[in-house]
Amino acid sequence: MKKRGIHIFIFVLAIGGINSCKKDAETAPVDLGYEYFPDDIGSYIIYEVDSIAYDDAVKPPDTTRYLLKELVESTFIDNSGRPTLRIERYKKMYNPLVPYDSISWVLSDIWTANRTTTTAEKTEENIRYIKLVFPVVKGKEWNGNSFNTLGQKDYEMISVDQPETIGGISFDSVITVSQFQQINFIEYINEEEKFAKHVGLIYKKMDNLYDGGSADTVGYTFTQKIISYGN
């Protein structure tokens, strides 16, 4: 009888453990990927930006280089009653004769952003884009221009939760979003953005190059990569 009592006791403990595990699994929060588009007031990211415009073979490409700081300055309620981030954007224009540390930040413009339960939206120069959708899943596609009049553009998450190093900074979890790609004999168009968990946008690439005839290249390249961040 004593042995039977012990067996029953162990059985009850085992069942209790299984039920406890089930309960923990059921109540464990699901990671939808919101941290790829954080909304922390006071957080900032500094990027190095290179923009090169190609016109024709007669003159050399026109290169513009600067540092860009995006600061989440505050939050407010927009006309739709949604909490909205106010993003202040500051620039330091490159000067080969003066180090960046000796150049003051100049406010260039103000953008806004919204993170809802299903989307991460950013308004750039009064044009709203859907940058991410939640939950984040590799292969997911959506129309990044759903909230503007620029025409449909299908974004796709081509990689999720991947380690990557950008601007000398290592990140454990990065999403790569392909916004548009068209490559053939006369054009090279490639647009993509990368987002790191707990940081946000860490890399942006926009290449729009065309064969203008007579071996001329027409178009531009734009690269924006993170070099530091904080709060």
pLDDT band at 6 (very low <50, low <70, confident <90, very high): very low
pLDDT tens per residue across span 125-136: 999 999 999 999
**What does the block give as tokens for 38?**
């954080």
10 and 102 part of one domain:
no
**Are 18 and 54 contained in the same domain?**
no
Instruction: Report the number of distinct structural domains present in the chain.
Output: 2
- How far apart CA 141 and CA 152 sit, in angstroms, is 12
Residue 2: the pLDDT is 44
Give the pairing of strands 169-183 and 62-77: unpaired
CATH of the domain at 85: 2.40.360
Question: Is the domain of 214 the same as that of 173?
Answer: yes
Are residue 16 and residue 114 in the same domain, yes or no?
A: no
- Choice among 8-17, 38-47, 100-109, 220-229 with the minimum mean pLDDT: 8-17
Residues 44 and 25 both lie in one domain:
no
Domain range for 226 is: 31-230
3-state secondary structure of 154: strand
Residue 22 or 170, more confident:
170
- Same domain, yes or no, for 6 and 38? no
Over 50: is that where the pLDDT of 10 sits? no
Does residue 112 sit in the same domain as residue 12? no
pLDDT given at position 91: 98
Average pLDDT over residues 103-122: 97
pTM summary value: 0.85
Do 51 and 19 share a domain, yes or no?
A: no
3-class secondary structure, 157: strand
Q: What pLDDT does 110 receive?
A: 98
The predicted pLDDT at position 28 comes to 54
Tokens of 103: 């150049």
* pLDDT tens per residue across span 161-214: 999 999 999 999 999 999 999 999 889 999 999 999 999 999 999 999 988 666
For residues 2 and 92, membership in a common domain is answered with no
Tokens of residue 80, six digits: 């739709």
Residues 72 and 181 occupy one common structural domain: yes
CA 3 vs CA 7, 9, 184: distances in Å: 6, 10, 78
More confident: 88 or 54: 88
pLDDT(228) > 60: yes
**Over 70: is that where the pLDDT of 11 sits?**
no
Q: What integer pLDDT is reported at residue 185 of this predicted model? A: 86
pLDDT for 30 equals 83
pLDDT per position as a tens digit, 36-83? 999 999 999 999 999 999 876 557 888 999 999 999 999 999 998 999
Q: For residue 101, which of 67, 57, 52 has the smallest C-alpha distance?
A: 67
Query: What pLDDT was estimated at residue 32?
Result: 95
